[in-house]
Amino acid sequence: MKKLFSNPDELAAFLGFLSLRLWLALRAFMTGIEKFAGGVSGQAPVLIDGTPNTYGLTAEQTTKVYGWAHYHGVPEALYNQFEAEPLIPGFLLKAYDLAIGPLLILLGLTLLLGIATRISLFAMALLYTSLTFGLILLKQDAGIAWMGVHIALIALALFQSRHNRFELLRNW
Amino acid sequence: MKKMQSTIRRRDFLETGALVGGLVFAAPAILKAQVRNSPSDELRIGFIGCGKQHEVLFNAMQNIQGLHYTAACDIMKNRVGATASRIKSRFGYMPNRYLDAEEMLSKEKDLDAVFVATPDFWHAPHTIMALEAGCHVYCEKMMSNTLEGARSMVKAMDASGKLCQIGHQRRSNPRYRFTLNELIRKEQLCGQIININGQWNRAVGSSQDISVKPSILPDEQTLLKYGFGAGTSAKLSLDQLRQRFLNWRTYKALSGGPISDLGAHQIDVFNWFLGVQPKSVMASGGRDYFRDREHFDNVMCVFEYDTPQGGVRAFYQVLTTTSAGGGYYESFMGTEGTIEISERSAFTNLYRESGAVKDWDALVRRGLLRKTAAVSATGESDAIRAYESAPPDRYDLPGDLNKPPHQPHIENFLAAVRGQEKLTCDARHALESEAPIYWVNPAAENREIIHFTNAHLQV
């Protein structure tokens, strides 16, 4: 440990940065993954005292599954509102809707693995800023504030990026 | 074609004696068909009557395996054609088509079962004809437009040794069977049932006369031959005969009216759940909106029962002029709780009295109930606290039926034909339950309380 960190403050700074990096990576990666999530509904026998009832009573059971068939980049309710916005062209909305999920996954992975950490963080900040742009148009103040918190964390990470370790691609 | 059943004379029954109000229903169906070679054997099915109710039955049975739709019959050529087309498009073959039931039964010697969905006044003749031809029969409710007709069906069933299931489909519905066996009988969820409240409220728009283009309707000779001129000595025009053919439910000689069409299902549930026949009925009815109709357009009635637990009063109303007020349901109201059950989940609710002894949440944990949103609280500005009870907690049944409502009843019939199950509503048990319903219209017409005797209710 002495070889890696000359004093406890340096260790603390590293752990602080690592915490931010992991949180931001996980936040982006899992949000991207969840955009591929959907529900498959089916009927299952009602369990009474732990065993299937003999009457034929069934209850709806929804199983969570992942796949392209369930992909939804921008949530449907928001998508419909964006469609009505004159400042968002339809073709751009479609492209954005398709790209946002894979982009979040990609940026989450690059940050997690330490591939061009600084560029990844900046790209992530641009992505969250683009989301903020849409939310401003819809006057969703709570969402804008929530995005602001993300941007602040990314900015903090960029300021502290000199403490970064364990990177696959150290440049950029 | 057999001669149609004559209308029963009310006074013949009132003259005779013994009270049967406390008659406890016999055990569930005892009839069971001879076991066929294999459960996978294909059953050959015939349809008598291809109208609207037939469509309901066909839609409920088309997912049941192991059936071959051999023949279909209706006096209206267009309907037989529509049924044949449905079978062709779904299964890839055509059934044999007939315009006369007697001809169908004489030519189709290898039918296993026949589904009768004709007007009520034809139920008994067609059922008897099919039973005597060696077929098992599934006949729509009401069994007949007359008590005498219904009794003749039971006799024919007994004499033929064949099965006769009556279309009270709630008797096979898992939700109803679960409610009766587990919640009412085993868990005693209602405590002592003191009152029953049932209704079928239907809007004016859903109660209008049916009309179709005259060119596809049967001709005058056919309508007269098949009895659509019954109940009047007047010479009927072709238009009047066609009106009777399409709207037979509104004519006294052809049907029992709304209390029979809609009420029969629900009053059957009253009697089935209580396990006894009522001891009396009082009723009121009127032709207050559809003034030209022979039958009442709205009927309200009260049955009184003596049960092993004590007296029970059951109110039932059928409205053909208003749909508001909760649709259709049967509500069993007891000292501990109320079960308001309906064929539709949306109209089903269970309420626990605030002072109930039993812990219903323990039943939720076991999977017997599901808890839903609480009922709105009392004590608001318009409430008079001294007069109000604490609001009951609200629960729901733990599951649903994931099939058309008629399918389990048809499945039960077909399984019984294959010797695998007992009928849930054979003609004898159906009549034990239906018999009191035949006396609602007379009680309303004569504005009298009818105290049932054996002559009124015997099967």
Dihedrals φ, ψ of B407, to 5°? Answer: -60, -45
Tens-digit pLDDT profile for residues A121-145: 999 999 999 999 999 999 999 999 9
In this complex, the residue of A47, A55, A60 whose CB is nearest that of residue B174 is: A55
Reported confidence tier of residue B375, pLDDT bands at 50, 70, 90: low
Is A110 contained in some domain? Answer: yes
The residue behind tokens 């709570």 is A142
How far, in Å, CA of B336 to CA of A1, rounded? 71
- B174 contact A CB<8A: yes
Question: Residue B231: which residues within 8 A CB-CB, separation 6 or more?
Answer: B251, B252, B253, B254
B111-148, pLDDT tens digit by residue? Answer: 999 999 999 999 999 999 999 999 999 999 999 999 99
Contact B51, B72 (CB under 8 A): no
User: pLDDT exceeding 70 applies to what percent of chain B?
Assistant: 88
pLDDT above 90 covers a percentage of chain B that reads 85
A35 with A66: CB under 8 angstroms? no
Give residue B380's pLDDT.
Answer: 62
Q: Do A46 and B399 touch (CB under 8 A)?
A: yes
The shortest CB-CB distance from B408 to any of A56, A59, A60 is to A56
Please tell me the distance from the alpha carbon of residue A20 to that of residue A13, in angstroms, as a whole number. 11
Q: What is the mean pLDDT of chain B?
A: 90
Q: Are A79 and A64 contained in the same domain?
A: no
Does residue A142 sit in the same domain as residue A118? yes
Q: Do both A113 and A80 map to the same domain?
A: yes
Q: How far apart are the first and last CA of chain A?
A: 26
Beta-carbon separation of B398 and A56 below 8 A: no
Confidence label for B392 from pLDDT (cuts 50, 70 and 90): confident
Residue B379 pLDDT level (bands cut at 50, 70, 90): low
Q: Is some CB atom of chain A closer than 8 A to the CB atom of B177?
A: yes
- The better pLDDT of the pair B385, B425 is held by B425
- Give which of B180, B183, B137, B179 is closest to B161, Cα–Cα: B137
Q: Helix B427-434 vs helix B263-274: angle between axes, to the nearest 10 degrees?
A: 100
A59 shares its domain with A143: no
H helices of B161-289, in order, are 174-178, 220-225, 238-246, 258-261, 263-274
B285 and chain A in contact, CB less than 8 A? no
A109 and A133 belong to one structural domain:
yes
Residue of B nearest to A42 (CA): B402
CATH level 2 (architecture), domain B31-169+406-425: 3-Layer(aba) Sandwich (3.40)
Asked whether residue A3 is domain-assigned, the answer is no
> Is B29 a residue whose pLDDT tops 60?
no
Residue B8 predicted with pLDDT over 90: no
Answer yes or no: is pLDDT of B22 > 50: no
B8: phi then psi, degrees, rounded to nearest 5: -75, 145
A29 pLDDT band, cuts 50/70/90, is very high
Q: What pLDDT shows up at residue B27?
A: 41
CA–CA separation, B318 and B327 (whole Å): 10
pLDDT digits (tens, 9 = 90+) for A112-125: 999 999 999 999 99
Contacts of B397 in chain A (CB under 8 A): 57
Q: Give SS3 for B420.
A: coil
Q: DSSP state, B276? A: B
Is A65 a member of any domain? yes
pLDDT for the residue numbered A9: 87
For residue B3, pLDDT beyond 50: no
- The answer to whether residue A57 sits within a structural domain is yes
Chain A: nearest CA to B280, how far in angstroms? 34
- Output helix, strand, coil percentages for chain A, rounded to the nearest 5: 60, 15, 25
Q: Between chain A and chain B, how many beta carbons pairs sit less than 8 Å apart?
A: 42
Q: Tell me, yes or no, whether A88 lies in a domain.
A: yes
Is the pLDDT at B68 greater than 70, yes or no? yes
Residue B38 has pLDDT above 50, yes or no: no
Per-residue pLDDT, averaged over B11-36, amounts to 40
Residue A108 lies in a domain: yes
Residue of B402, B412, B424 to mutate, interface with A, max A Cβ within 10 Å: B402
Q: DSSP labels for B158-196?
A: HHHT--EEE--GGGG-HHHHHIIIIIIIIS-TTSSEEEE
A14 and A62 co-located in one domain: no
Residues of chain B with CATH 3.40.50.720: 31-169+406-425
β-pair partners for A13: none
Co-location of A107 and A46 in the same domain: no
- Tell me the per-residue pLDDT of A9-22, one tens digit each, with 9 for 90 and over: 888 999 999 999 99
Host domain of residue A80: 8-35+73-163
Q: Are residues A20 and A50 in the same domain?
A: no
Q: Do A46 and B366 touch (CB under 8 A)?
A: no
Residues A54 and A80 both lie in one domain: no
Decide: B398 and A46 in contact? Cβ < 8 Å.
yes
Count of CB atoms within 10 A of residue A155's CB?
A: 13
In a domain, A169, yes or no: no
The rounded distance, in Å, linking the Cα atoms of B238 and B146 is 26
pLDDT of residue B326: 84
Helix axis angle, B77-91 to B52-61, nearest 10°: 10
Which residues of B are less than 8 Å from A46 in CB distance?
367, 398-399
pLDDT-derived band at A110 (thresholds 50, 70, 90) equals very high
The percent helix, strand, coil of chain B (3-state, each to 5) is: 35, 20, 45
Instruction: Find out whether the peptide bond into B142 is cis, omega within 30 degrees of 0.
Output: yes
Structural domains counted in chain A = 2
